[in-house]
């Protein structure tokens, strides 16, 4: 009988299933993948085949737990389905190998139980994924709306004061209006870049890195001036070219520059250098923040991470910068200069020369 076969060969079925799962492509499964949902399913399957038959609702409950666990571990919905398919194959193959006498009716019951488990696991997986996406999206939208509202309120109040004629545009109130409008622009630019990254929309073109930096320098010089900081740009890139989506990379480099301006000491300076090797193009952005706290580099690119008493912004700038650079096949390196500042280096692949 099939129930006796599964109960007697339970460990062999699990071991064979594990070997099947291990043959799948990355991500590799963990031990926990088989120590909860699948063994529980096998136990309930035995009871059902013996006629003690836990309800389909109970069968679904174990599958639901498995779907939730798979979602927590980051597995795809296809792997949830494959997990249960591998169980069925393992039972069938082992029965054939051991020449176990299993009836057609028992095989039908086995397949029905697998169908129930698969359907429930996938349903729960999708439910958990949708809820996670919804929660994350709601939180992000709420924070974005809050930041936009604060910047807009500051701009409206500053404009209202200037409109009354009691202060000039060139005074401190005018500076508040300028900062608020700049903040709105930066927030919108950053959000647009994130949307493009999420959507996978990229329009790559070949550009000289010196020309790209020249465009960035115009905005950066204005930002540095409003904050009373110095800005130095030097080029040593020998005319190197990169293939980029201008908007995404401009947002990535712009976020790094904003970060440098934000944390540099008053009357400090930010330096931008471009350089190139035979295969890479590098953009160094050095600030004068005084250096990084010990052990802080690892958390710099985490979303919503903020490391200053200045809590303006969403704490998403560096995270989006990293994603934008990685979308171009590059990376961002950080070097701490204790007592002075730090250097963020955008490392990009150099475009192959058209003359080659």
Per-residue pLDDT of the chain (356 residues; tens, 9 = 90+): 788 888 889 899 888 888 887 776 655 666 666 666 677 767 766 776 666 555 656 665 666 665 666 656 655 556 666 777 788 888 889 988 998 877 888 878 777 777 766 666 666 666 666 666 556 566 666 656 766 776 787 777 778 777 777 566 777 667 777 777 877 887 787 777 777 777 665 678 899 999 999 888 887 888 888 788 999 999 888 889 999 888 888 888 988 998 899 899 988 999 999 999 999 999 999 999 998 888 777 667 775 454 444 434 445 668 878 888 888 889 999 999 999 999 999 999 999 876 54
Do residues 67 and 120 lie in contact, with contact meaning Cβ atoms separated by under 8 Å?
Answer: yes
Do residues 283 and 209 lie in contact, with contact meaning Cβ atoms separated by under 8 Å?
Answer: yes
What secondary structure, in 3-state letters, does 89-152 show? Answer: HHHHHHHHHCCCCCCHHHHHHHHHHHHHHHHHHHHHHHHHHHHHHHHHHHHHHHHHHHHHHHHH
User: Is 52 contained in some domain?
Assistant: yes
Same domain for 220 and 115: no
Same domain for 342 and 210: yes
Angstrom distance (rounded) from CA 229 to CA 271: 11
Angstrom distance (rounded) from CA 198 to CA 99: 52
User: Is 90 contained in some domain?
Assistant: yes
Q: What is the pLDDT of residue 256?
A: 92
Do residues 343 and 286 lie in contact, with contact meaning Cβ atoms separated by under 8 Å?
Answer: yes
Same domain for 126 and 220: no
Residue 86 neighbours by CB distance under 10 Å: 21
Range of the domain at 325: 204-349
Here the tokens at position 71 are 């979602």
- 196-230 burial code (b ≥16 CB/10 A, e <16): bbeeeebeeeebbbbebbeebeebbeebbeebebe
Angstrom distance (rounded) from CA 17 to CA 34: 9
Do residues 123 and 115 lie in contact, with contact meaning Cβ atoms separated by under 8 Å?
Answer: no
Q: What is the pLDDT of residue 318?
A: 81
User: Is 149 contained in some domain?
Assistant: no
Q: Choose the final residue of a domain: 104, 134, 164.
A: 134
Q: What is the DSSP pairing of strand 230-236 with strand 269-276? A: parallel
Q: Choose the final residue of a domain: 76, 108, 134.
A: 134
Same domain for 345 and 214: yes
User: Is 187 contained in some domain?
Assistant: no
Using only the alpha carbons of the chain, give its radius of gyration.
29
Angstrom distance (rounded) from CA 348 to CA 351: 9
- Burial class from Cβ neighbours inside 10 Å (0-12, 13-18, 19+) for residue 288 reads buried
Question: What is the CATH number for 276?
Answer: 3.30.565.10
Q: What is the pLDDT of residue 159?
A: 81
Same domain for 211 and 344: yes
User: Is 152 contained in some domain?
Assistant: no
Nearest alpha carbon to residue 272 among 308, 220, 312: 220
Do residues 246 and 284 lie in contact, with contact meaning Cβ atoms separated by under 8 Å?
Answer: no
Helices (H) and strands (E) in the chain, counts: 11, 7
Q: What is the longest distance spanned by two Cα atoms in the chain?
A: 96
Q: Choose the final residue of a domain: 134, 156, 182.
A: 134
Structural domain total, the chain: 2
Residue entry with tokens 């169908």: 115
User: Is 150 contained in some domain?
Assistant: no
Q: Is the peptide bond before 27 cis (omega within 30 degrees of 0)?
A: yes
Same domain for 296 and 209: yes
User: Is 309 contained in some domain?
Assistant: yes
Same domain for 332 and 240: yes
Q: What is the pLDDT of residue 92?
A: 87
Question: What is the CATH number for 48?
Answer: 1.10.490.70
User: Is 69 contained in some domain?
Assistant: yes
Do residues 37 and 121 lie in contact, with contact meaning Cβ atoms separated by under 8 Å?
Answer: yes
């Amino acid at each position: 009988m099939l129930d006796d076969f599964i109960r007697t060969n339970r460990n062999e079925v699990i071991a064979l299933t594990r070997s099947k799962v291990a043959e799948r492509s990355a991500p590799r499964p963990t031990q926990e993948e088989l120590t909860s949902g699948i063994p529980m399913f096998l136990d309930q399957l035995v009871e059902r085949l013996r006629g003690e038959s836990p309800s389909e609702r109970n069968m679904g409950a174990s599958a639901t737990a498995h779907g939730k666990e798979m979602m927590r571990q980051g597995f795809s919905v296809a792997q949830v389905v494959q997990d249960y398919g591998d169980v069925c194959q393992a039972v069938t193959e082992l029965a054939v190998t051991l020449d176990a006498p299993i009836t057609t009716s028992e095989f039908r019951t086995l397949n029905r139980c697998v169908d129930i488990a698969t359907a429930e696991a996938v349903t729960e997986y999708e439910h958990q994924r949708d809820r996670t996406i919804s929660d994350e999206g709601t939180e992000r939208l709420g924070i974005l709306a809050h930041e936009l509202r604060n910047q807009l309120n500051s701009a409206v109040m500053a404009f209202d004061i200037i409109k009354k004629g009691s202060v000039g545009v060139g005074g401190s109130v005018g500076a508040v209006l300028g900062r608020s409008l700049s903040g709105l622009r930066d927030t919108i630019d950053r959000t647009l870049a994130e949307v493009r990254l999420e959507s996978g929309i990229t329009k790559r073109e070949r550009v000289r890195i010196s020309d790209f930096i020249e465009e960035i320098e115009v905005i950066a010089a204005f930002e540095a001036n409003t904050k009373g900081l110095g800005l130095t740009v030097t080029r040593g890139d020998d005319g190197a070219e990169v293939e980029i989506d201008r908007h995404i990379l401009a947002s990535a480099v712009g976020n790094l520059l904003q970060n440098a301006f934000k944390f540099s000491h008053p009357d400090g300076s930010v330096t931008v250098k471009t350089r190139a090797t035979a295969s890479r193009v590098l953009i160094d952005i050095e600030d004068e923040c005084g250096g990084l706290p010990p052990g802080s580099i690892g958390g710099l690119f985490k979303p919503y991470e903020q490391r200053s008493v200045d809590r303006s912004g969403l704490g998403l700038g560096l995270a989006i910068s990293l994603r934008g650079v990685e979308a171009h096949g590059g990376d961002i390196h950080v070097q701490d200069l204790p007592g002075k500042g730090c250097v963020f280096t955008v490392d990009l692949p150099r475009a192959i020369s058209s003359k080659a």
